[in-house]
Amino acid sequence: MHPPVRLVAIDVDGTLLPTLSTQVSPRNVRALHAAQRAGITVVIATGRRMAYTVPLLEDLGLRADTPLITSNGAVTRTLGSKTGGEPGDAGDKSNAQILDRCHLPSRTARGLCGLLRPFGCIVFTFDRPGRGELALEDLNQAHGRIALWVEANRDAIEVVKPLEDALVDGDDPIQGMVAGSIDQMRAAEKALKASEWAGSCESARTEYPARDLSILDLLPFGVHKGGALERLAARLGIDRRETMAIGDNWNDVGMFEWVGQPVVMANAAMELRAMARTNGWKQAPTNDQDGVAMVLEAAIRKLSARPAEVAG
């Protein structure tokens, strides 16, 4: 039997957020607060970059020391509060603390441009606020595939053509991404794994079948959500068996494989749900049914029942 949960990592899109929404549901918010009051460390673990994550969370009333794993594991920091500030930090209204950060060497990023340009729109993310945080070379191509993302991030985007010119040695990005159709990104991932860059770059794929949209994240070698979570748990002194991860997509698999208590959302892709059954991972109700809240509520009940069990 698993011990009570002391740390839970929660994905954002397709997990914490309802479909096509940018607001966490009231029940999920209450469950996050209840988990923190119960002594569970709540970790937000997302493929989104920091500046695209903090605005979703800063008005939820979460603790300032809530850890955020962003850019699929490239950056881990605390949420912070709206007062104070660290100069140059993403989400610069916050007094957040950087816990972990990795960079993708610019030389590798330049090589990936030549390899992956035929498959879709390439974007590189730099760990700095404002214009130039995101670099791409074809705004029209990006707008056609990820229009909502472009509009939400327009103030951070700098168009650089060729994109290699944005990738200067010593000013390394924290991650890249390629966006296209599901078939295109599966082909891009195969091309990457067969290329000379396979040993220099980690990839994480997410898929949104309803929109025939897929994103292939490009990360420093060895960097993924699972690795970042493992390092964070070690920092906090929390045993692997006491950790849980809740997610819905392929970039969550690293977490599922490492934690003691993996939970896959019912709205995950059929292939991922089949993997969950094969591996004995639990399944939660969908993101539109407040599946995260249901899982957290059960974890809190188990934690609350523990003293009675010990006393008995």
Q: What is the CATH number of the domain that holds 270?
A: 3.40.50.1000
- The runs of H, that is alpha helices, within the chain are 26-37, 50-57, 106-116, 139-145, 147-153, 182-193, 225-236, 253-258, 270-279, 291-311
Listed residues 201, 220, 239: the one ending a domain: 220
Do 198 and 248 have their domain in common? no
Give the model's pLDDT for residue 277: 97
Give the model's pLDDT for residue 117: 95
Q: Does 2 reside within a domain?
A: no
- Per-residue pLDDT of 110-169, as tens digits, reads 999 999 999 999 999 998 888 999 999 988 777 676 788 888 888 999 999 999 999 999
Which pair of structure tokens corresponds to residue 297? 């509520």
In the chain, the amino acid numbered 12 is V
In the chain, the amino acid numbered 1 is M
**Rounded Cα gap, residues 116 and 112, in angstroms:** 6
Give the model's pLDDT for residue 83: 54
Do 198 and 238 have their domain in common? no
Q: What is the CATH number of the domain that holds 204?
A: 3.30.1240.10
Do 82 and 130 have their domain in common? no
Cross-strand partners of 69: 45, 76
**Stretches in the chain below the pLDDT threshold 70:** 83-94, 143, 145, 306-312
Domain containing 49 equals 7-102+224-311
Nearest to 185 by CA among 166, 201, 209: 209
Give the model's pLDDT for residue 91: 46
Do 295 and 228 have their domain in common? yes
For residues 120 and 185, is the Cβ–Cβ distance under 8 A? Answer: yes
Q: Does 274 reside within a domain?
A: yes
Nearest to 232 by CA among 6, 2, 3, 4: 6
Give the model's pLDDT for residue 306: 67
- DSSP state for residue 2 in the 8-state scheme: P
Q: Does 1 reside within a domain?
A: no
Do 71 and 42 have their domain in common? yes
Give the model's pLDDT for residue 53: 93
**Rounded Cα gap, residues 160 and 149, in angstroms:** 18
Listed residues 220, 242, 260: the one ending a domain: 220
Do 111 and 95 have their domain in common? no
